[in-house]
Each structure stands twice: as C-alpha cells, then as structure tokens.
Amino acid sequence: MEDTDLIILWGSNAREAHPVMFHHMMKAVRRRGAKLVIVDPRRISGSEFASMYLPVNVGGDVALANAVGHVILEEGLQNTEFIEAATEGFEAYQNTVQSYRPEDVEDITGVPADSVRELARLYAHSERAILCWTLGITEHHNAVQNVHALINLALLTGHVGRYGSGLAPLRGQNNVQGGGDMGALPNRLPGFQNLLDPDIRKRFADVWGVAVPEKVGKHQTAMFEAMAEGQIRALYVIGENPIQSEANLNHVRSLFDGLDFLLVQDIFLTPTGERADVVLPATASWAEGEGTVTSSERRVQRMRPALKPPGEARDDLWIVEELAMRMHTPGWSHRTAEQTWDELRSLSPMHTGMSYARLEELGGIQWPCPSEGHAGSPFLHARLWERPVVGKRAPFVVADHEPTAEQVDQEFPFMLTTGRRLAAFNTGVQTRHYAAPRGHHEKLEMCSEDMEKLCLEEGDLCRVSSRRATLEVRVTRSRKVHPGLVFMSLNYPDEVATNLLTLDATDPVAGTAEFKATAIHIERVRAAVPVGHAVGEAVDSHHA
C-alpha cells in the first residue's frame, strides 16, 4: 500500500472506519506522491487528501465501473497482452460496457463524464494501482455484481498479481479474514477447502474421529430465514450482537424470541445476551488470551495475554472445549492455543508453514505459507503473470446496472445511507463506555438545502420513517451529503436504532443486506431548544 502510485477508495470511508490502514495509505501519498481517489456518495473526510472525488449515486457503482471500463477500451488503454494471456470472458465484457458511455449514464452514476474519463486514464496509466473497497460496495442486494465490476477493471488494466498493484477489500474487524480462513463458513472447511469434496472431508474426519456432515450449511442470512420458518430452533452466538447489527431489526428480534434455546458467549452482556437462556463470560482475546488473528492483508499475527480476565471470565477455547467434552464428543480435550493451531496447520495447507515460533520470529506471515521453509505470500495471483499462465485464467464476469431494492418516491423521498463513525465500533458494545471527543450521539446528517426545504434548524428532533419502522433522531447540517441523500450510523443503537429502518433485501450469493440504501420520510417533531415554547404549535406552523 505504501509503495503504490494510485489508491482508489471505492465505497470505503477508510479515514474514519480504517484509520490505521488510512495512515499507511497517506504514507504512499505523502512520501511517494501517490494519488488518492475517493468514490463515494458522501464527500467523506478523506476527500481532503484526495486528488479526485467522484460523487457516485447510491447504487450507481456497477454503472460507474462499467463506464470507466468503457473509456479504457474506447481510448485503447487496456493491457491487451494480459487480457489475452491471463483472462477469459473479455468479449462479453467488451460488449456489455459498450452501452456505458459515461455521458449516457451520468444520471445513473451521478458522476460527470469528464471525471469518469479522467479516472479511467489515471487508473490505466498508473504503473501500480490498488483498488480498495469496503461496505459501500458489499452492503447492497447486488453486492457480488458490484465486486465483479471492480475486479473487471483490474483485469482490464493488469492491476493485479504484482507488487503494489491489486484488489483490496478492507475488513471491518480484526479477524473477519481469519473467521473465514478457519472454516467458520457454511460451505468451506478450514483453509477454504471445499466441503463437497469427499477426500477433503475424509482428511478432517481422520483427524477429528467424527464424520464431517456433507450437507452445505446456511449462512447467517439463510439462518434468519430458517429461524422464521421454525427450522432453526437453537443458536450459539459467540461475540456477536445480531439483535442490533442486522437490517430490519424488528423482524430479527421476533426471530430471536421464537428460539427454543439461545446460548451466548461474550465479554459484555449485549442485548443479544439479554435474550439468552445461558450466557458464558469469555476473555477478551486480544488482551487476555493466547492465539492468532489474520489481518486484511492475510497476515497471521500472534496475540498474547497482557491482562488477567475479570471475575470468572474464562478463555474462549476452554469454553468451547468444555461444551464439546460434556457432550461426549470424541477427540476433544483441553489443549493450549498452540496445540489447536498445530491441528489447524496439519489440516490447512495454506497455514502449514506457520508455527508459533515462526510467527514470532518473522512478526507475522501472510498466507499461503505451505511449508516451514516458505516466507509467506505478500501478494496473490502472481501466477497470472507467468507465461503460459499457471492454472486457471482469471474470468471477466459481466455485471449490469441494477437499481437499489428500494427507490425514493413521494411518500419516502429521501435516500438514507448508513455507515460508521470515527471512535465508535459497530453496535457500540465495546466503545460506548469510552470517552470520545465529540461525544457518543447519533445524528441525521443532512445538507443545508434540504434542511431549509424542511424548515429544520441544527439539532431539531426529527421523526424518520421507512417502510418498516419509525424512530426519532436529531438533525445536523453536513457538507458531506448532497440534496436527497442523508446519513446515519449504526454505532449508537441504544439511542437511535438505525437498523430498525434498514431493509433486509440481500444479495443472493453473499447474503449481505442492502444497508446502504433505504428510502425514508423525514418530518420535524420539535425544535432544538423547546424550553418555554409551545412545541405542538411550532410543528404545525412549520408544516403550514
């Protein structure tokens, strides 16, 4: 990241949501003179450091990416050698982006055609370029199509598989990457190994002494559906707070109330825990436990205990082992974190070379690391640059524009997009107790023009309604949003439960809900300083 020439942050508020990563990006900008481009519906604070800001409409990402591709092809800026030698499906892609002339899709993208052309030239001409994205791309009902549209740009220009060039989804927690890597997924065993392969299942069964179930499981969204249908009756929730983090919360709450048994393991008593039958107090793994985590750049790093856990809180690993042993499951015993890791290494080829000793010696190792002589892999897909290409070609996957699941209309005329704020983390379970310079309050961010139109003053209390719910929140003037677009975070659900409003329309493959696009109605409830003021009259007069 520090050695690249161009960083595109697409749907990523990295300065607030990934401040450490943003710091590394700024090293490239300040020391190397790299260019930073921000593509986002909001003029987020990182834009101050960017050489270009593209105000993409909510849901306009595929159209914009295709328009960039259109310009690259129109001006002959593509990497033809790479496309011919290392990719497949180019012709279909070329045919698709033909109809995305930037001038023709301005209404969809919201981005002036000149800016699209400038970005296309910048991306294609950069020696090295990294395209980063976060939830602005993936929290949509067509999330996978959005990602493909970006991958297509990297394939078109060859900005993949080289040092300082690539595609980088920034992860939202310290170990989202590791959760998937470890096989906490319904269709993959540890090391992303295919559950449907009988030989792989047998390897695990031989080590575990228990057959691995063959049937592909349900991802989180499908589990909610199965709860609604009464198929899933019991949940084991470890360190998650779905009661506040999911879209369309009223629906989620009713699903939890319908369970026969809810087991929660956490470091705090969350609203999810408050609904549990049994709550088990765990250690905070990053400060009180032994183990490893894996960062966005696939780097496995050691964690060591620095503090004693409070009260009777017990180590996460001990708790899971104890449950398995009490259920008389073959092959379980109490072991050290290192022994558990060594079992994983014996089963997952991409982790095999990462002993605790080597992780400590090298300060972390990036997977794949197949043997103890292997130094790890700073970037992936280098094979695409070997001639002939080793293994499969990288496919272009055609993506077409699709409107957001919910559109604004007369009844719900504002588009609400959601996100995170600096100094707060997700549903606030871990951050609400800390002091923050700007305080912990949720506000509805709105531009001056819209505030004037609705006769709103700074701090006025508003009633916000979507097709699913209504809540009250104070309004604040923001230069980040444009007319018709408003913003709220999900960080303070005890005060303002933003996800009551959001829509659970999900991507059919990824299962991610469209948190980024909710049509809402906004009305004033009362003024910011109602003392000695007839509130009801004030509302009436403003509406007259």
Q: Out of 50, 73, 510, 517, name the contact with other proteins by CB under 8 A.
A: 510
Q: Which two tokens stand for residue 274?
A: 């408050």
Please state, in angstroms and as integers, the Cα–Cα distance from residue 312 to each residue in 287, 304, 316, 497, following that order: 16, 19, 12, 32
Interface segment toward other proteins; rule CB under 8 A; list 61-69, 159-167, 179-187, 535-543: 179-187
- Write out the binding residues for other proteins, residues 477-496 only, by CB under 8 A: none
Rounded to the nearest whole angstrom, what is the least distance from the CB of residue 398 to other proteins in the complex? 24
**Cβ atoms < 10 Å from Cβ of 130:** 24
**Using rule CB under 8 A, residue 17 touches other proteins:** no
x/- binding map, residues 126-165, to other proteins, per CB under 8 A?
A: -------------x--------------------------
Q: Which two tokens stand for residue 21?
A: 């990563």
Report d(CA 396, CA 161) in Å as an integer. 15
**Using rule CB under 8 A, residue 197 touches other proteins:** no
Please state, in angstroms and as integers, the Cα–Cα distance from residue 90 to each residue in 80, 152, 237, 267, 396, following that order: 10, 9, 43, 50, 6
- 65 within 8 A of 150, measured Cβ to Cβ: yes
Rounded to the nearest whole angstrom, what is the least distance from the CB of residue 54 to other proteins in the complex? 26
Site size toward other proteins, by CB under 8 A: 110
Q: Which is nearer to other proteins, 333 or 410 (CB)?
A: 333
Interface segment toward other proteins; rule CB under 8 A; list 60-68, 145-153, 324-332, 398-406: 324-332
Q: Out of 52, 77, 113, 238, name the contact with other proteins by CB under 8 A.
A: 238
E runs forming strands in 412-457: 414-419, 443-446
φ, ψ dihedrals at 469, nearest 5°: -165, 170
**Which conformational region is residue 463 in: left (phi greater than 0), alpha (psi within -120 to 50 degrees), or beta?**
beta
Q: Out of 154, 237, 399, 415, name the contact with other proteins by CB under 8 A.
A: 237
- Beta bridge partners of residue 536, listed in sequence order: none
3-state SS class at 281: strand
Rounded to the nearest whole angstrom, what is the least distance from the CB of residue 535 to other proteins in the complex? 35
x/- binding map, residues 417-456, to other proteins, per CB under 8 A?
A: -------------x--xx----------------------
Rounded to the nearest whole angstrom, what is the least distance from the CB of residue 151 to other proteins in the complex? 18
Q: Which is nearer to other proteins, 102 or 178 (CB)?
A: 178
Q: Out of 52, 85, 200, 344, name the contact with other proteins by CB under 8 A.
A: 344
- Beta bridge partners of residue 303, listed in sequence order: 291
The answer, yes or no, to whether the previous bond of 169 is cis (omega within 30 of 0) is no
Rounded to the nearest whole angstrom, what is the least distance from the CB of residue 173 to other proteins in the complex? 4
Q: Which is nearer to other proteins, 41 or 190 (CB)?
A: 190
Place of tokens 């497949």: 88
**Using rule CB under 8 A, residue 190 touches other proteins:** yes
Consecutive H or E run containing 294: strand 291-294
Report d(CA 532, CA 459) in Å as an integer. 17
**Using rule CB under 8 A, residue 281 touches other proteins:** yes
- Write out the binding residues for other proteins, residues 255-274 only, by CB under 8 A: 260-261, 263, 266-269, 273-274
Q: Which is nearer to other proteins, 172 or 484 (CB)?
A: 172
**Using rule CB under 8 A, residue 330 touches other proteins:** yes
- 262 within 8 A of 277, measured Cβ to Cβ: yes
Consecutive H or E run containing 238: strand 234-238
Q: Out of 14, 38, 67, 195, name the contact with other proteins by CB under 8 A.
A: 195
